[in-house]
Homo-oligomer: A and B are copies of this chain.
Amino acid sequence: MNTASDARLEALLLHAEIDAFNTDYAEKLDRQDLLAWVECFAEDGFYVVISRENFERNQPVGLIYCEGRGMIADRAFALLKTAMFGPRYLRHMISNLSVASQPDGSVQARANFMVIEVLTDRPEPRVLQVGEYRDVFVRVDRALKLKERRCIYDNLLIPTALCIPV
């Protein structure tokens, strides 16, 4: 293995690490463990859920907008208390990941997501949301954390889904 190969391997290892992060992130949401989900973010992490329409028009108004892990945690606690995160099953499918390390040591990444919902009173699963993640990752004590995650959803959301993190 020469230097060129080493660089490709490093890129491959980083890609695999982000992929594992996303798998873990999705798993936390799918078992509705919002407190563990909060830990995916850096202390000053930014989290926004925004429609593709608004994103493409540079209108930063999002359905969910959180600056800092404190706000993200508040959001999670509120959800748990209001029991809106209720009697349903969610399942994330994440694919089409691309990763680019930046000169400052951070990592930019994108991936497509799909969230499938199963309600207890409906036999058929339905596609609740589809869209993409646009992320910036940083390392905190060697572990990857989200410095920024923008969840850009294609669809108009239905009311019951309004407050669910993606």
Q: Which residues of A does B touch, CB under 8 Å?
A: 1, 5-6, 8-9, 12-13, 15-16, 20, 22-24, 26-27, 52, 89, 91-98, 110, 112, 114, 116, 118, 123-127, 129-132, 154-158
A98 touches B156 (CB 8 A): no
Chain B residues contacting A5 (CB-CB under 8 Å) are 9, 13
- Count of identical protomers in the assembly: 3
Of B12, B23, B130, the residue contacting A97 (CB under 8 A) is B23
Chain B residues contacting A24 (CB-CB under 8 Å) are 98
The smallest beta-carbon distance between A100 and chain B, in angstroms, is 11
Chain B residues contacting A155 (CB-CB under 8 Å) are 89, 118, 123-125
Contacts A9-B9, A12-B16 known; A129 to B125 CB distance under 8 Å? yes
Contacts A1-B6, A20-B98, A127-B124 known; A93 to B114 CB distance under 8 Å? yes
A93 to B24, CA, bound (A): 18
A129 to B112, CA, bound (A): 16
Of B22, B23, B91, the residue contacting A154 (CB under 8 A) is B91
A89 touches B52 (CB 8 A): yes
Contacts A1-B6, A98-B20, A125-B155 known; A130 to B91 CB distance under 8 Å? yes
The smallest beta-carbon distance between A14 and chain B, in angstroms, is 10
The smallest beta-carbon distance between A77 and chain B, in angstroms, is 23
